[in-house]
Amino acid sequence: MPDTVSQSDILDARARERLPRRKVAQSVVCRLVERPAVARVVQPQFFDQNTMPVDIKNKEASAVQIGLDVAISRPTAPRTPAIQRVFMTAFRKIQLPDLRFIISIVPLVGGRGGFILFPFAICSVLSCFASDVYVRKGAIGANSGRNWSDAWNELGQIPWKSIAPGDTIWIAGGEYSTALTPTASGTAEKRIFVKRVRATDPIPVSALGWDNSFDSQVLINPRIPTNPGIAWVTGIDGKGSYVTIDGRLDTGTSCGIKVNVGDGAVAGAVKIDTGNTGVVVRFVDMAGPGGQTPFTYSSNISALYAFSHTGRGRITSPTFESCRIHGAVNCVKLNSNGATFLRCKFYDVVVKNSLKYHGNVVYTSESSGCLVFAYNEVWNWDSEGILLKNTPQTWQIYDNVFHDSFRSGYGRVLEAKDAAHTVIFHDNVVTNTWASYRADSESKGAFTSASRSYNNTFSHQKLPPSGIENHDAGSINSDNRGSEILSPPSSPPNS
């Protein structure tokens, strides 16, 4: 094995895969599991003369809502007393692209004078009877959300009481000044989706009023700059569960949805502080006021604030995927029962007035359950990477790249404070940083004997991963099997 590996090779994922590693058995605390698609069978539904909706009995009705929220057009021919000559067919779009769900209503000829509502599926995975509604800045139609011409023209106009499980809210590109505040809930099987629209989406492209210019970034700049642009409303516990907010893409410098928050804020660009379950945020750029150089903050601002409070419900199992989170005292402030950070980018945590506000990439306090930090990239931070505080926590941290902490700072990857925490730290690249992990003995911080560190690559560090820094004690390096600890350069960073 060569004594040194170039920094560019280390940061190249493909090159890194060529580094030899030994397979090490581990006691898995928790693991990521992809939720499989679920196929469901929908049974026919029967309506007789007495139980069918009153609007169908009325021959003047041109459209009705039957049971499962399926819009059905009624023929204009009058019905006969003997047999309901109702031949109606409704086509409702579902969440899978280029597929349609067909509903047929067939008359009964057995003398009961009713009809059967029977679904014929041309797909195997169903998300039936979902509605597609629209938001477009500048829309001047009826503002009903039915199509692009009649879209709601601000995020604050969405009538969440009318949003049901399985619905999709499509947002056109543009700058919005009111917050997105989900107060309706989906289910584990039928989530509510909020999506930035793409020109390749067949359902919204076929809606009345479509224009290709709608396929552009959704920018949320709240009228009050210190307010969050995406927020689960305080005091409404349990609402907003199983909601996915999806910006759809990373442009290389930002995401499909970007939320700005100004200096002086505490809650952040995205705020979750009330009990809900299964929230997913994907491809959202959460941008604080800071940048690459030290910034003087007037508040302890967090770009993402997902923090359960006493007396409010517990945040459970949120997922943040492919997001950019940056430019704040804390990229993330977290207190939840389970959380997953997957393929995100964290950067620019550089605090000029650090004696007043201590910078952290992830500040996590009293979090519990399955906590995962995987396939992320972290750079340009001046103090702690992941700071574990207060009650014991258990984290899986793997396949991340931590590189180039701020030159005049003390960028560490991981610090344990206040309690003994369990960390499984494996298959990470750590290069050009101050140190790897630290246990703060003065605050009784430590890593438990169940902690493990293996198959990592450490390079170009001021302090190699000895687990001892200044007065600190407690190490996860004693089980550092399969790792490559490379010789530092003659002039280490931050020296």
pLDDT digits (tens, 9 = 90+) for 340-359: 999 999 999 999 998 899 99
pLDDT tens-digit readout, 240-292: 999 999 999 999 999 999 999 999 988 899 999 888 999 999 999 999 999 99
pLDDT tens-digit readout, 141-191: 999 999 999 999 999 999 999 999 999 999 999 999 999 999 999 999 999
Confidence (pLDDT) at 486: 57
**Residues 136/157, Cβ–Cβ less than 8 Å:** no
DSSP E strands: which ranges in 203-336? 218-220, 230-232, 243-246, 257-260, 270-272, 280-282, 284-287, 302-307, 319-321, 324-326, 330-335
The SS3 assignment for 428 reads coil
- Token pair for 204: 């919204």
Confidence (pLDDT) at 122: 36
- CATH architecture, domain defined by 7-35+132-485: 3 Solenoid (2.160)
The SS3 assignment for 416 reads strand
In degrees and rounded to multiples of 5, residue 325 shows phi and psi of: -130, 115
How do beta strands 192-196 and 484-485 pair? unpaired
pLDDT tens-digit readout, 426-435: 999 999 888 7
CB burial of 286-298 (b: ≥16 within 10 Å; e: otherwise) equals bbbbbeeebbebe
Has residue 67 got a pLDDT over 70?
no
What are the angstrom distances between the C-alpha of 43 and each of 63, 68, 92, 118? 23, 12, 17, 7
Question: Higher confidence at residue 201 or residue 74?
Answer: 201
Question: What size, in residues, is the chain?
Answer: 495
Confidence (pLDDT) at 464: 57
* Banded pLDDT at 473 (limits 50, 70, 90): very low
Nearest Cα neighbor of 308 from 299, 317, 298 is: 317
- Token pair for 86: 């109702």
Instruction: Indicate the domain borders of the chain.
Output: 7-35+132-485, 45-121
Specify the DSSP element, H or E, that contains 47.
strand 45-47
Cα distance between residue 402 and residue 411, in whole Å:
10
**Residues 207/134, Cβ–Cβ less than 8 Å:** yes
In degrees and rounded to multiples of 5, residue 160 shows phi and psi of: -60, -25
DSSP E strands: which ranges in 427-463? 429-431, 435-439, 446-447, 452-454, 457-459
Cα distance between residue 12 and residue 401, in whole Å:
10
What are the angstrom distances between the C-alpha of 469 and each of 349, 419, 437, 438? 22, 17, 9, 7
